[in-house]
Structure formats: structure tokens, C-alpha cells
Amino acid sequence: MSDPLARVWLVTLIHARGLVKRFEGFTAVDGIDVDVQPGEAFGFLGPNGAGKSSTMRMIGCVSPPTGGELRILGMDPVREGPKIRARLGVCPQLDNLDLELTVRENLTTYARFFGIPRKVARARADELLDFVQLTERADSKVEPLSGGMKRRLTIARALVNEPEIVLLDEPTTGLDPQARHLVWERLFRLKQQGVTLVLTTHYMDEAEQLCDRLVVMDAGKIVAEGSPRALIDRYSTREVVELRFAAESQEPFASKLDGIGERVEVLPDRILLYVEHGDEAVAEVQGRALSPAGVLVRRSSLEDVFLTLTGRTLVD
Ligand SMILES: Nc1ncnc2c1ncn2[C@@H]1O[C@H](COP(=O)(O)OP(=O)(O)OP(=O)(O)O)[C@@H](O)[C@H]1O
């Protein structure tokens, strides 16, 4: 190969340096660096408007970068978009299934775009329907399916071309807890099969469940990067005590908690105490004759990481 860096890019499936996306003067993605390795489940975690979808659309070769460098599977998404797309699976934020077609036809028709022969497409569709547990609905139309079923069908469709990388934009937004768990379980299986997953989410539990490594995004920038565990260890304490006081404002109680734990965070409806040992902290609170209406001791999560880094919660 003539390009000396091509070998590095072939190992690194997605390589971005100083990647920028601007819309008429507004910078949605503001110079981010990302490397995704084969077999990883990699996440972009951030609130609405952080720039996650804009980044995904650049990786999916449907939106050209405004600046910086981007290589997907060692190729340039602007010049080699079709070649890259043939090796990607894309599950967009909103299901865009064909309502005119049956569940199975949604897969077989999509397979034709990739030039997959009819017989192979049919066999693959049946395999994928089995994988996403929709075999019984194969001949039904799409419209009566539940939200979770539609999402699973969209995931199956993204797998029709046996992609090396699957891009999932907010894979479980809008689903109920049971449907979310089923999607997570299927994605976990894909990961076990060695498929590289790249997903966006504003759910910290989704990021913790699925991602080996993630970047935390806020206002177009990456504010932290690492495994969920490493991020929590670095930016938060072992435990968090949540206190709810029966009052219009939590603020007056915060000063009475001075010195307990490493940090106090006041939210509109509760106070968070960042501590190593929750039970000891609760005893200290009680020792100060404070009687909160609600007390919860829990482990730190990525939500706490986000709060520490930005002063805001992930989901308002
Ligand atoms: N085509 C566009 N034209 C103008 N502004 C845009 C366009 N697409 C996105 N934006 C803006 O860019 C910012 C980032 O949007 P983006 O959709 O990437 O965020 P996100 O993190 O994916 O959030 P969400 O979860 O809401 O999709 C937002 O302020 C959005 O309004």
C-alpha cells in the first residue's frame, strides 16, 4: 500500500482527529478525536444536542465533515462513501421501516440494495428474524408491531449485509424497560459475535450496560473518555447519598451538610452527597439533627460523572 498510515487505519476502524461539523455558523461537533478498535462496543454519551447524531451521520457517510480528519475502515467517507456503507450497518434514531412491506420483506428488499441474491437474502432474513425474535411476525405488516419489535426489526435490517461495524443512534430511546432489556440482550450477543458496535445514548445505564469504552460529549466537545468503570473511578466517589428534604428549595439544607463527604451537589429536587461510605455519611446527617423525607444510598454512576464534569444532569 502506498499510504504508510493505511495499516494503522485498517486496525483502527474509525479514526477521527479534530473532527468538525458546522451548520450555517453553528458548530454541532467541535473538533473531536475518536478511535474505535475492532470488536469494541464504543459509545457517545451526552444529553440532547451534544452533537452525537451529527457525529454518527458523518461516520455513516451521509453528512460530510466540515473540518478535521475522518477515516472509516481505512477509507475517506467523502470519496469512498458507497464502499464504506457496504460494510456498515445503520440503525437510525427514528425507525424508517417500509410500512407497505411485511416484516420479512423489509429485510429482503433491503438486501437487494446490497446486491445480495434473492435466495441468500431470504435465508439471511429468516436467520435474522430468528435472531431478533420476530419469526412469528415474519408475514405481518410493520405498523401493528410494538415499538420494541420495530426497533429489533431495524437492528435486523442493519445486519442484512453482515456489517463489520453497526452504528446505533439512541437504540432504546422511547422503549419501555422490558423492550429495552431485550434490545440490550441482542446487542450484547452481537458484541459476543465480534461485531463492532458504535452507539449514541443519553442513558447512563445503557452506556454502562453496553459500552466497553465511551466518550462523554457536551456542546460538541468530548469532555472525558474511558471505560464506564474508569470514568466513575476517576470523576466520582464510590457511593452517593441522595437526600430529599420536604421543602420548596433544597438549597438551605446544603450548607448544613458541609464537610460530609467529598462534594455536595444541589439539584432542584434533591441533594447529592459524594462519599466513600454511604451509611457512615447518613449517620453523620442524622447526627446533625437533619431529617430528610427521603434517603437513598447508591453506587456512583455515569450520571454522576456527567454532573461532575458539566454541572448538569444527562436527562432533564
Ligand atoms: N441539519 C442541521 N441544521 C442546523 N443545526 C443542526 C442540524 N443538525 C443538528 N443541528 C444542531 O446541532 C446540534 C447537535 O445536534 P445532534 O442531533 O448532533 O445532537 P445529539 O447529541 O445527537 O442530540 P439528540 O439526541 O437530540 O439527537 C443541535 O443543537 C442541533 O440543533
Which tens digit of pLDDT belongs to each residue from 80-117?
999 999 999 999 988 889 999 999 999 999 999 999 99
73 Cα–ligand 1 center, Å: 25
Tens digits of residue pLDDT in 10-64: 579 999 999 999 999 899 999 999 999 999 999 999 988 999 999 999 999 999 9
Return the best residue to mutate from 20, 23, 202 for the ligand 1 pocket (most ligand atoms within 8 A of CB): 23
The CATH number that applies at residue 295 is 3.30.70.980
Q: Does residue 123 share a domain with residue 251?
A: no
pLDDT at 75: 96
Which residues in 99-187 belong to E strands, given as ranges? 165-169
Same domain as 252, residue 189: no
Q: Are residues 66 and 179 in the same domain?
A: yes
The closest residue, in CA terms, to atom 31 on ligand 1 is 49
The whole-angstrom separation of Cα 5 and Cα 115 is 31
Indicate the pTM of the whole model. Answer: 0.90
Q: Is residue 310 part of a domain?
A: no
- Per the CB < 8 A criterion, the answer to whether 134 and 156 are in contact is yes
Examine the domain organization and report whether 139 and 28 are in the same domain: yes
- Residue 152 Cα to ligand 1 middle (Å): 25
Residues 137, 242: one domain? no
Domain match, 56 and 89 both: yes
Based on the fold, state whether residues 148 and 30 are members of the same structural domain. Answer: yes
For 165, the grid coordinates are: 461495524
**Per the structure, how many domains does the chain have?**
2
Q: Based on the domain organization, do 107 and 197 belong to the same domain?
A: yes
58 within some domain: yes
54 lines ligand 1 (CB under 6 A): yes
Cβ of residue 161 lying under 6 Å from some atom of ligand 1: no
Q: Which three cell numbers stand for residue 246?
A: 420536604
C-alpha 136, offset from chain centre: 29
Q: Which domain holds residue 155?
A: 6-227
Nearest CA owner, ligand 1 atom 3: 23
- CATH number for the domain including 200? 3.40.50.300
Domain membership of residue 304 (yes or no) is no
The answer, yes or no, to whether residue 1 has pLDDT greater than 50, is no
